[in-house]
Amino acid sequence: MNWWKRPAVLAVVALTVGASLLAVYWDGGSADSTGETEALLQRLGRYFEKQPRDARELVFAARRLAEAERYAEAAQAYEKALALPSKVVKDPAVWCEYADALGMTQHGKLAGKPRQLIDRALALNPEHPKALELAGSAEYEQGNYDVALGFWRPLLALLKPGTQMHTEMAAAIARTEGLAAKSAQVRQ
């Protein structure tokens, strides 16, 4: 039995994303292969064209689309979800996911609207790890190394020492400090 077909998992999913979306997913069977995943995404797309009124379900679909690297469609689903009256508009993670998907449609760049979405996430929670990571990345892209460090250093303090993320962030900070020092020398 697949883990997602277990009764306890189905109950949690039904409560979380709604029974109507669960029926769409259940009907698709296993989504293990690329073809099955594509079929599931097509069914989700048709479902949301007909009934785009639950923001949580739209976020669920957006996440699946992003996982399938269908970033433009994911960004559209996030935009629709955040336009609906719902608790998701107060979730900084959703704003970050939207910024990330939209950035991927811009060849990985976070300038412009993605940066505005990141700022929205930071306004909701100035210590949100993904928002700090993305804000630092956006500033790094622009060559604003000191500003990037202003986001990444607090993020590093939030990460558990010894984890891969902590190690990678510490290395990124060290590289960025070097770039900031070189940039300061050039300006002098």
What pLDDT does residue 61 have? 92
What pLDDT does residue 183 have? 85
Does 7 score more than 80 pLDDT? Answer: no
Mean pLDDT of the chain: 83
Taking the C-alpha atoms of residue 15 and residue 12, their distance in angstroms, rounded to an integer, is 5
Of the chain, the percentage scoring pLDDT greater than 90 comes to 66
Using a 10 angstrom Cβ sphere, with 0-12 exposed, 13-18 middle and 19 or more buried, the burial of residue 89 is middle
Which residues have C-beta within 8 Å of that of residue 149, sequence separation ≥ 6? Answer: 136, 173, 176, 177, 180
CATH number, domain 52-187: 1.25.40.10
Taking the C-alpha atoms of residue 113 and residue 36, their distance in angstroms, rounded to an integer, is 33
What pLDDT does residue 48 have? 60
pLDDT in tens, 126-182: 999 999 999 999 999 999 999 999 999 999 999 999 999 999 999 999 999 999 999
| Span 47-56, average pLDDT | 72
User: Containing H/E element for 92?
Assistant: helix 92-105
What pLDDT does residue 8 have? 37
Q: Per-domain residue ranges for the chain?
A: 52-187
